[in-house]
Amino acid sequence: MGTRVSLTDGSGAWFDTESALLIKEATWWDGHNHISVPTGSQWNHEWLYYTKSGKWVLNDFSNSQGTSEGYVQINESAAVAWLIQNGHTESEELWKLPESVRLSVQTGIAAAEI
């Protein structure tokens, strides 16, 4: 067995990080620090996991001392929005996801065009 991580919602649910697909946030350089695209912070970050059972888990964490790390299950539409926001529209990770997810990402991109 890999690394079992419990969700922080008190449900008792868990997932194995070794068998899940990890998708890291996008960052941008502000001239001094790498800034997280989803949080807008140099300190707070988000990563997304796609579990072997087809569930989405959002991991939020901080570089600030004394803060706790969170793992919460999110629905597919929230995960697709996160993937688009973080520029995972053609990433290597996207191609490891089911075709239905890739189609949802492409549909989300098309719907955002003005």
Given this model, what pLDDT does residue 5 score?
97
Domain span at residue 34 reads 4-112
Q: Which residue has the tokens 């888990």?
A: 57
* Predicted pLDDT of residue 1: 52
Contact 38, 46 (CB under 8 A): yes
**Helical pair 99-112 and 76-85, crossing angle rounded to 10 deg:** 60
* Structural domain count, the chain: 1
pTM here is: 0.92
Per-position pLDDT tens, the chain of length 114 = 569 999 999 999 999 999 999 999 999 999 999 999 999 999 999 999 999 999 999 999 998 888 899 999 999 999 999 999 999 998 999 999 999 999 999 999 998 888
